[in-house]
Amino acid sequence: MNESPDQKPARTPEQGIERAARALANARVTNAQLTPREQAEAAWHKGCRYSVDELEDRIRARRGWPPLER
């Protein structure tokens, strides 16, 4: 079957898993380089059940850091 030029070639499931793992690893490295505040601001969206401050506190807790005094 011929593929059109704009169509990506088919992948095996293993290739798909490997590609997803690389993308996840890259995202984790990028996130680790952000401050908790930057990460919270990037995660927040309209309709989010947490405020940016609450997200920041949750991120700090996940990193084993104390919450900020506000």
Domain boundaries defined on the chain: 36-70
**pLDDT below 70 — which residues of the chain?**
1-5
pLDDT in the model for residue 4: 61
For the record, the structure tokens of 68 come out as: 């900020």
Residues 6+ apart with CB under 8 A from 65: 36
pLDDT in the model for residue 10: 73
pLDDT in the model for residue 5: 63
SS (H, E, C) 9-43: CCCCHHHHHHHHHHHHHHHHHHHHCCCHHHHHHHH
pLDDT in the model for residue 9: 72
pLDDT in the model for residue 28: 92
| pLDDT, tens only, 31-48 | 889 999 999 999 999 999
